[in-house]
Structure 1
Amino acid sequence: MNVADIYPGTLTKVPKRLHKYWHQRYNLFSRYDEGVWMDEEGWFSVTPEAIAADAAERCRCDVIIDAFCGVGGNAIQFAMTCNHVIAIDVDAERLKCARHNAEVYGVADRIEFIHGDFMQLAPHLKADVVFLSPPWGGPEYNQSDTYDLDLMQPVNGLELYKVARRITPDIAYFLPRNCEPDQIGQLDPGRNVEIEMNYLFGYLKAITAYFGELVGDTSDAMAVDNPEEFDM
Structure 2
Amino acid sequence: MSPAKDSVVALPRTRKQRKRFKRKVKIKAKRRAQKLEKLKERENVTPLVKKYWLQRYDLFSMYDVGVKLDEEGWFSVTPEEIAARQAERCAGAGVVIDAFAGVGGNAIQFAKVCHRVVAVDVDPNKVQLAFHNAKIYGVEDCIDFIVGDFFQLAPFLKGDVVFLSPPWGGPSYKAKENFTLDLLKPKDGHSLFQVAQAITPNIIMYLPRNLDMLQASELSWLSSPPLDVEIEENFVRGNSKGITLYFGDTALHGSVLSFL
TM-score (norm 1): 0.89
Secondary structure of the residue aligned to 2:210 is coil
1:91 is aligned to 2:127: no
Report the counterpart of residue 98 of structure 2 in structure 1: 66
Equivalent residue number for residue 51 of structure 1: 82
**What residue identity is the alignment partner of 1:131?**
F
Deviations 1:26-76 (A, max 9, x none): 000011111111000000000000000000111221100000000000000
The structural deviation recorded for 1:219 is: 6.7
| Pair 1:184 & 2:212 matched | no
> How far 1:218 sits from its partner (Å)?
3.2
Q: How does 1:18-33 map to 2 (within 5 A)?
A: 18-33=49-64
Aligned residues of 1:52 and 1:74 also touching (Cα < 8 A): yes
- Bigger Rg over Cα: 2
Q: Which moved more, 1:91-100 or 1:187-196?
A: 187-196
Root-mean-square deviation (Å)? 1.5
Q: Give the deviation of 1:9 after TM superposition.
A: 6.2
Q: Which residue of 2 aligns with 1:131?
A: 163
Greater length-normalized contact order (CA 8 Å, ≥ 6 residues apart): 1
Unaligned runs of 5+ in 1: 1-6, 222-232
Q: Which residue identity does 2:203 align to in structure 1?
A: I
Aligned equivalent of 2:70: 39
Query: Contact between 2:168 and 2:183, CA under 8 Å: does it hold in 1?
Result: no
Identity %: 54
8 Å CA contact 2:120–2:145 kept in 1: the answer is yes
The residue aligned with 1:75 is 107
Match of 1:227 in 2: none
CA spacing shift, 1:202–1:97, aligned 2, 3 Å: same
Which structure: greater helix fraction? 2
Distance 1:9 1:133, change over 3 A: farther
- C-alpha distance after superposition, 1:149-186 (max 9, x if no partner): 02322100000000000000000000001111110111
User: Which residue number in structure 1 is paired with residue 191 of structure 2?
Assistant: 159
| Partner SS for 1:186 | helix
Correspondence 1:113 to 2:145: yes
For 2:234 and 2:109, how far apart are their aligned partners in 1? 16
Name the CA shift for 1:51/1:9 in 2 (closer, same or farther; >3 Å): farther
Work out the number of aligned pairs and report it.
Answer: 215
Of the candidates 202, 211, 216, which is equivalent to residue 170 of structure 1? Answer: 202
Which structure 2 residue ranges, 5 or more long, are not aligned? 1-37
Shift of 1:192: 2.3
Q: TM-score, normalised by structure 2?
A: 0.80
Greater alpha carbon shift after TM alignment, 83-92 vs 143-152: 143-152
Runs of 4+ in structure 1 deviating by more than 6 angstroms, as ranges, are: none
Q: Is the 8 A contact 1:64 1:129 kept in 2?
A: yes
Checking the alignment, whether the CA contact within 8 Å between 1:8 and 1:14 is kept in structure 2 is no
